[in-house]
Amino acid sequence: MKNILIIGGARSGKSHFAQELALKLGEPVLFVATAVAGDEEMRQRIEKHQQARPSAWSTLEVTTHVGSQISQKIGEAQVVIVDCITLLVSNILSQYSDQTGVPLIEQKLTSEINELVECINHTDASFIIVTNEVGLGLVPANRVGRLYRDLLGRVNQLLAQQVDEIYLMVAGLPVPIKPSRYFSL
């Protein structure tokens, strides 16, 4: 069992690399998609991702409560790809941003990630988790954008502590981050 975090910018090759790793780790594979087809462009992106996956893989499309839904659907899967945490955070932020303050959003998000971590820790399957690094660019101009960047950064830190390996995708190339041969934490 090996748990891996793949992090990078938009269109950096994260999903493709996750699929390559899954094929090397073995089958059966459960692919967990967190995207919502909110507009035509997103629908087309989802369709393109669906076509790129091997037909033998099981797919679970879920917007929240990812950990509990994986637990119900995992079956005999040896590998679980969660693609992606970025959209999961967006789903939760969208669900609660109009109704409540930041502390409740943070609580809901922490609960969501803890549920996923518990699922990871209570299965023998390998997990490959895909997420974006959004903290390297400009400071977002609006409050919700800054909140999203901060929340995703915290979630990425939590997940990084739980995995065995981390790869930063740069221009389609995986750069190993953890474990590091230069230092250990």
Q: Is 161 helix (H, G, I), strand (E, B) or coil?
A: helix
Alpha-carbon span 17 to 53, nearest angstrom: 12
Q: Which of 16, 49, 65, 122 is catalytic?
A: 49
Pairing mode, strands 126-132 and 58-61: unpaired
Give the Cβ contact number of residue 143 at 10 Å.
10
Assess whether 16 carries a catalytic annotation: no
Give the Cβ contact number of residue 123 at 10 Å.
16
CB 14 within 8 A of CB 8: yes
Q: Is 68 helix (H, G, I), strand (E, B) or coil?
A: helix
C-alpha 134: how far from chain center = 13
Give the Cβ contact number of residue 90 at 10 Å.
20
**Would you please indicate which residues are annotated as catalytic (active-site) residues?**
49
